[in-house]
Amino acid sequence: MEHLILNNGTELNGHLLETDGKLFLYMYGISLEDAFTLLIDPNNTKVIRWERYGDNGTVKGYKHLTAISEETGDMISAVLKK
């Protein structure tokens, strides 16, 4: 299982990748509009916990949504920066 837990407690199906000062989110089962509404609010993204196949962690400080798009396979991708 892959989960993202936003700072406000919202749990999303998906995973993340942190690289080069950016945070890439890959989410499933959420609409583009709902994802945008959640991720545009820096209070929701300043701390994001993740769980992925038994591993878990936390990323902090990503408060600025720079991109969001619909992908094939019912996936929404988004990019955040600090």
* 43 alpha carbon, distance to own chain's centre: 13
State pLDDT tens for residues 37-67: 999 999 999 999 999 999 999 999 999 999 9
Q: Which amino acid is at 59?
A: V
| Structure confidence at residue 25 (pLDDT) | 98
Q: What is the count of structural domains for the chain? A: 1
Residues 44 and 10 sit within 8 Å (Cβ to Cβ): yes
Tokens encoding 76: 């929404």
Provide the pLDDT confidence category of residue 5 given band limits of 50, 70 and 90.
very high
What domain range is 15 assigned to?
Answer: 2-81
Give the pTM: 0.94
* 19 alpha carbon, distance to own chain's centre: 14
Three-state secondary-structure class, residue 57: strand
Tokens encoding 47: 């701390």
Q: How many CB atoms lie within 10 A of CB 15?
A: 17
